[in-house]
Amino acid sequence: MSLDENVAPSSRLLTVTELTARIKQMLEVGFSRVEVSGEVSRLTRPSSGHLYFTIKDAHAAIAAVIWRSTAMRLQFLPQEGEAYLFSGHISLYEPRGAYQLIISRIEAAGAGKLAAEFERRKQACAERGWFDSERKKPLPALPQHVGIVTSATAAAFEDVKKVLATRPAWLQLTLAPALVQGRSAPASIAAAINRLAVMDAPPDVILLVRGGGSIEDLWCFNDEAVVKAVVDCPVPIISGIGHEIDTTLADLAADRRAATPSNAAEICCPARDELRGRIPRAGMLRQLFRQQVEQHRRIYASLLQRHTHVWQRSADARYYRLEQLRARLRHAAVTATGQARLLLRRMEKRLRPLQPVKRLQRQRLVLGAEQRRLQQQMGALLQQKRRVFDDIATQLVMQRQSLQEKRQQLNILRGKLGELDPTCVLERGYSMAIGSDGGLITHAAGLSPGERMQVRFRDGAVNTTVDAVEVSS
């Protein structure tokens, strides 16, 4: 039915109910989406949970209502005498024939100016390239250390801790407390991010979180100092500011935006159940282990075969050289013997008339001794080469054993290092006292009444003041 058909004069008599129904339909169709600004007056809150009030300006007023279900999800409720921007639709209350505005959303009167300022800042940051996807850093697949920037007393911090409690037990959490609302909040947030980034062992990822609120409450996250700190931070940042419908410039500059603080904690690290699902089953592990063992066996066999081949070639070369030397020595001995025999024959011919039998016998003995000495030297040289090869093989075995011992020592030292971690002491129920200068307090005598100190526990820290000092004798 068109609007013209609704307003056309009827050819028949209408009842009050019919006329009211037609007017109601016209109002709800023609004013299905209304935005109006005005001041709240005559605000009532009956036990039903609905809110009834009047929206007025200098010349007119209109009745308005916020149903209980809508009031429960609004970020704030209207206050008597305050001005707001209202969104909703017009409806007609048939028993009284009165129309009223059904409110679905409320914004502070200054929200329009803030929205314009938000767009101006957003454009300026975009021109600087702060929102470009190319500069965003990838998140670590399995972080060991998570930094958190928020208020220590905020509900968002508790939500993050609850989620991270379902993550692996090795996860280390470091809170950099900061103001997350008010004029001092931007500088405090930027300083907290910088503190985490310059730590000796900085976190693998940083969570910038805050609970829901109005645009004014979240305005500090649109400050240039906060956006620049997010952009310049070398550590990946996940933002979880407000609810899913809330968007700040810090969200746009962050390396990853989450819908809520809890969602930011879920994104930064997989849950233990998810990690268990990633781990292969025992049968697969057994098969993988056997494959690794078989691969190492093949590598070892290949290396052994290679070393054996090299040793065999080296031994063959040595044997070949020894055989050559032995052949040369044998040839030289035969030649020398032949020459000596020839010489002896000549001398026999010369000395035969003189019968030099004894002298000839002595020469033969000397020649035999030289021949035996040469054979002994050749045998000793061969034994020496064999011993050198055996020593090399023994050294290889000892080096392999030494490598295994050093691996065992490394595992022992790694375990001792984990036992020396201060967080392990806190997990056993102990605490640490930190002085106002940031140093560790180890003696009560170093304190004085009125001095500020911080006591750190496993799950957080407490700031306190010394009332009295009792030093044991």
pLDDT of 7 over the 50 cut:
no
Stretch 16-20: mean pLDDT: 88
| CATH number of the domain located at residue range(s) 3-109 in this protein | 2.40.50.140
Report the 10 Å Cβ neighbour count for 284: 10
Half-sphere exposure of 330 (CA within 13 A, CB side): 6
Q: For residues 324 and 188, give the distance between their C-alpha atoms in angstroms, rounded to a whole number.
A: 88
pLDDT computed for residue 256 by the predictor? 93
Average pLDDT, the chain: 84
Residues 6+ apart with CB under 8 A from 170: 144
pLDDT, tens digit (0-9, with 9 covering 90-100), for 304-344: 877 777 777 776 677 667 777 877 888 888 888 888 888 88
Report the 10 Å Cβ neighbour count for 244: 11
Q: For residues 150 and 220, give the distance between their C-alpha atoms in angstroms, rounded to a whole number.
A: 12
pLDDT, tens digit (0-9, with 9 covering 90-100), for 134-161: 989 999 988 999 999 999 998 889 999 9
C-alpha angle 34-116-70 in degrees, rounded to nearest 5: 40
Determine which helix (DSSP H) or strand (DSSP E) holds 186, and give its type and residue range.
helix 185-197
Choices 1.25.40.10, 3.40.50.261, 1.20.1440.230, 3.40.50.2000: CATH for 132-277? 3.40.50.261
Q: For residues 341 and 5, give the distance between their C-alpha atoms in angstroms, rounded to a whole number.
A: 149
pLDDT computed for residue 290 by the predictor? 82
pLDDT, tens digit (0-9, with 9 covering 90-100), for 403-437: 888 889 988 888 887 777 777 777 777 888 888 88
Q: Which segment of 152-161, 269-278, 452-461 scores lowest on mean pLDDT?
A: 269-278
Structure tokens at 39: 């001041």
pLDDT of 3 over the 50 cut:
no
pLDDT of 9 over the 60 cut:
no
pLDDT computed for residue 5 by the predictor? 46
Residues 6+ apart with CB under 8 A from 451: 435, 436, 465, 466
pLDDT computed for residue 4 by the predictor? 46
pLDDT, tens digit (0-9, with 9 covering 90-100), for 379-393: 888 888 888 888 888
pLDDT of 303 over the 80 cut:
yes
In this structure, are residues 423 and 172 in contact, taking their beta carbons and an 8 Å threshold? yes
- Per-range mean pLDDT, top range of 39-43, 166-170, 229-233: 229-233
Half-sphere exposure of 403 (CA within 13 A, CB side): 6
Q: How far apart are the first and last CA of the chain?
A: 96
pLDDT classification of 198: cutoffs 50, 70, 90: very high
Report the 10 Å Cβ neighbour count for 461: 15
pLDDT classification of 254: cutoffs 50, 70, 90: very high
Q: For residues 207 and 139, give the distance between their C-alpha atoms in angstroms, rounded to a whole number.
A: 11
Structure tokens at 394: 């023994």
Stretch 259-277: mean pLDDT: 86
C-alpha angle 232-219-174 in degrees, rounded to nearest 5: 50
Question: Parallel, antiparallel, or unpaired: how do β-strands 172-177 and 145-150 relate?
Answer: parallel
Q: For residues 150 and 208, give the distance between their C-alpha atoms in angstroms, rounded to a whole number.
A: 6
Determine what percent of the chain is predicted with pLDDT higher than 90.
28
Report the 10 Å Cβ neighbour count for 249: 23
pLDDT, tens digit (0-9, with 9 covering 90-100), for 430-447: 888 888 888 888 888 878
pLDDT computed for residue 352 by the predictor? 65
In this structure, are residues 468 and 451 in contact, taking their beta carbons and an 8 Å threshold? no
Burial 337-365 (b: 16+ CB within 10 A, else e): eeebeeebeeeeeeeeeeebeeeeeeeee
Q: Look up residue 261 and give its amino acid.
A: P
Half-sphere exposure of 350 (CA within 13 A, CB side): 7
Q: For residues 416 and 424, give the distance between their C-alpha atoms in angstroms, rounded to a whole number.
A: 12
pLDDT, tens digit (0-9, with 9 covering 90-100), for 30-49: 888 888 888 888 999 998 88
Beta bridge partner(s), residue 146: 173, 205
Q: For residues 221 and 233, give the distance between their C-alpha atoms in angstroms, rounded to a whole number.
A: 15
